Structure 1
Amino acid sequence: MFEMLFEHLARFVHINEQEREILQARLRYKKVSKKDFLLKQGQICTGNFFVLSGCVRLYSITDNGTEQILQFAISGWWISDYHSFQNNIPSTYNIQPVEDSEIAIITRSDSDELFQQIPVLNNYFRLLMQRAYTAALRKMELLLVTSAEDRYFQFVNNYPEFVQRVPQYMLASFLGFTPEFLSMLRAKGRSANHS
């Protein structure tokens, strides 16, 4: 059930059989349908979520009531509101599946103990945070210095699996423009491919 998570771990660090058993005993499994929530705005985030299958999004609701998607996670990716998780404070985000998903969860109450029992997990999550930080900077750079059109086509080239799986209005929210603008860009891309 958690094999994908252990394969992901093995790409970054080595854990022995005893550590694997300790971790497996602490992992929670959850099947969530696409309208369920892993976290609602105002709740304290009590889990670090690893997507075993499906696709999940993290988003906030803007002052004018629209959704602003900040992150997606597909199979093999982690997602959480780390600020809420670490500081035990209410979240400003929602975490919700885009499609029916299976999730491995490390709860807040288990994480500190796991870090003590399996010290190499500290290295694993440090490496993941470094990668996430780099990705966040890259996204910020794209939003600030790249045209919306270039941003869309770069995303399509770098993450073609998302374009097929994620509803158009969600993709537009994530990339920082309207669904109508995205429709125009997609039409432009299709006509360019046919000429």
Structure 2
Amino acid sequence: MKKAPILSSPIIGKHISLRLVGVSDAEFIYTLRSDKKAKFLTQTSGGIPAQEQWIESYKKRESAGKEYYFIIQSLEGQPFGTIRIYDFQEDSFCWGSWIIQDDAPSYVAIESALCLYVFGFYTLGFKMARFDVRKANVQVVAFHKRFGARIINEDTLNYYFNLSLEDFKAIPKVFAGFLPANLSYFTNLSKGE
């Protein structure tokens, strides 16, 4: 398994940034995960104190480079949601805990996914992304299919997806426009190469 870096600054996108979660984010995260949209995520219990404890435990895994949990926010710091990358294996990572407020700008979903893929593929050096989506979460299933992700398995509740680095490089140009063109690893994507 690769040794992941310790992040000292947020991942900056075109309109958003991904900053590491802190204990002070527990109330925001608990509120998000208590919303009707969170029905497709693992359920939380125990209120804000339990969320604070979970974050404290997570911060140890973050320090060890085993996972990263982010607040998706505007460049000015307004929080919109969360996204997490974890379960690092030899050449792949898993991602999830992706939830965005209903009133967030429309670009937040696309840009947050792109930023996470760039981080996983280019910063961490993985070749494959893995994730699961509840079958009932029809909009998110459709989003991932448009992005080029492939369903590799399914069970009663979930579809299990893969998206390779090569698949990511071939994403439709319309999606590529959601990242800053001045990023060196993005040059080939923005040209559609």
TM over 0.5: no
Normalized per residue, which structure has more helix? 1
TM-score w.r.t. the length of structure 2 is 0.31
TM-score w.r.t. the length of structure 1 is 0.31
Structure with higher RCO (Cα < 8 A, 6+ apart):
1
